Structures are given as C-alpha cells and as structure tokens.
C-alpha cells in the first residue's frame, strides 16, 4: 500500500484548490474532474492523476489555480492582449506552464511582434521576424542531428568518423574469424591424415631401415644385405653336409 501511495504524492500546492488527502501523508492538489465510489481523478494542470478511494483519507473542495485560470480566460474580451499577458504571468507564478504557454500564444496571435510573449514561447528574432528556434537554425543553414543543431560539415564529419570506426571494427572481426577458421581447418586436416594412416594398414617402415623378409627364425633376416656381402668361407661353411 505504501508503494502505491508514493505514486500519487505531490508537493503541497496553492490554497483554494481541491485537496485529496491520501493515507501516508500524501495529497493531490488540483481540480477534481471525476469521482466515483472506487476512485477520484484530479486534474493537476499538466495532466490527471487517479487515486483509489481506499487510499483517500478525506477530500476538501476549493477553487484551484487551474479552475481560476479557466474562469479568468473565459472572461477575457476578444483582442485584449494585455489581459492575456497578465494571465500568462499569473499562470507562470503558479507553475501552470501549459496555461502560461496558452496565454502567451494568445498575446502573439494579437500582437505578433510582442517581445515578451515571443521570448516566453522560445522564439528568436531573425531579420526582423520572430521565428521558432528551429526556423532560426535552419535559416542559418544548420541541420538537426541527434537532438543538436550543427553545420552540414560537422554532421558529415561525425557520420564519416562513425563509419570509419565501424569499418575498422568489421575488418578486425573478419580477421579474427579467418584466424579461427584457419586453426579449425589445420586441426581438421591433421586429424584426417592421422585417421587415413591408421586405417590404411600401412605403417612407416623407414624407421627400420631396409624392407624385412620375415623367416622362421626369431627375428628378421635381410636378403640380400645391402651393407655386407658373404665371404667365400662363410658360403663354404654353409654348404649342405654330404655334398
């Protein structure tokens, strides 16, 4: 319940307004625009807030600044710029910014060159004409880019710098990918060669010297020996007995 109450709490407002007091010490100040058994909706000037009646302690009705503004605005004669100016200043002093904007707009509609009203609306004087800030910048050749005004060259420099950074980043990524792929390919080739050697049935006999012809003896015999020729007496001694 305390968390919900915080949502509706506003700073203390001016006197003579509708006051909706909430549990926990908060309150809504403005004009009550709707009230039912379940909730109450208050227009605070820049919008409305709704509070459940279960969180309302009491309601004190009065005349809010917003109500007073509307009453005064409804009674201003057509073409009375000074009355609108006075009402705009009054609204500013009571932090009714939306209503102050509305009143100053009425002043400009009647007196297009009024300095106070134009400046209050954020306009600037360019070549003897009051224009919006956007028009003023554009008239000087500025462009809006990401919430700021700058020259086209400044914008282009920012874009090109970002593009160069992105390209360098892309190239670095591609180089890293190629290096990883090369390692994968080399490992795959090594494993393929090892598998081929193991499954072909052929071993590498180069480490044993010459090819071996296995006999009935306990070990290999070489025929003929490429490194040694039999001596005559050895051949004689090996003759078959009786011949």
Q: Which domain holds residue 19?
A: 2-64
**In a shared domain, residues 94 and 123:** yes
pLDDT tens for 76-110 read 999 999 999 999 999 999 889 999 999 999 999 99
Q: Do 58 and 101 sit in the same domain of this protein?
A: no
Which tokens go with 171? Answer: 């190239």
Angle between helices 81-93 and 65-74 (to 10 degrees): 180
- Taking only the tens place, the pLDDT of each residue in 181-213 is 999 999 999 998 888 888 886 555 455 555 555
Q: Please report the pLDDT score of residue 65 as a whole number.
A: 83
Cβ neighbourhood burial of 135 (10 Å; 0-12, 13-18, 19+): middle
Per-residue burial over 26-43, b = 16 or more CB atoms within 10 Å of its CB, e = otherwise: bbbbbbbeebeeeebbbb
Phi then psi for residue 21, to 5 deg, are -90, 135
In a domain, 203, yes or no: no
Q: What is the CATH number of the domain that holds 32?
A: 2.30.30.100
Q: For the chain, what is the domain count?
A: 3
- Does residue 111 fall inside a structural domain? yes
Environment class of 74 (CB within 10 Å of its CB; exposed 0-12, middle 13-18, buried 19+): exposed
Residues 84, 59, single domain; the answer is no
d(CA 211, CA 231): 23
């Amino acid at each position: 319940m305390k968390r919900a109450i915080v949502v509706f709490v506003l700073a203390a407002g001016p006197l003579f307004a509708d006051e909706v007091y909430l549990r926990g010490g908060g309150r809504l100040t403005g004009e009550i625009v709707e009230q039912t058994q379940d909730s109450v909706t208050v227009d605070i000037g820049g919008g409305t807030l709704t509070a459940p009646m279960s969180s309302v302690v009491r309601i004190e009705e009065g005349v809010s600044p917003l109500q007073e503004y509307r009453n005064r605005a409804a009674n201003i004669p057509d073409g009375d710029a000074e009355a609108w100016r006075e009402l705009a200043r009054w609204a500013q002093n009571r932090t009714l910014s939306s209503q102050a904007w509305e009143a100053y707009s009425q002043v400009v509609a009647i007196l297009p060159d009024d300095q106070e009203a134009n400046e209050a609306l954020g306009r600037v004087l360019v070549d003897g004409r009051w224009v919006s800030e956007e028009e003023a910048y554009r008239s000087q050749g500025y462009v809006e880019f990401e919430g700021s005004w700058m020259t086209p060259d400044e914008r282009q420099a920012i874009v090109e710098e970002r593009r160069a950074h992105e390209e360098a980043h892309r190239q670095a990524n591609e180089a890293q990918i190629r290096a990883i792929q090369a390692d994968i390919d080399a490992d795959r080739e090594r494993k393929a060669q090892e598998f081929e050697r193991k499954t072909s049935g052929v071993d590498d006999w180069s480490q044993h010297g010459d090819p071996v012809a296995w006999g009935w003896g306990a070990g290999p015999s070489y025929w003929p020996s490429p490194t040694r020729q039999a001596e005559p007496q050895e051949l004689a001694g090996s003759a078959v007995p009786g011949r």
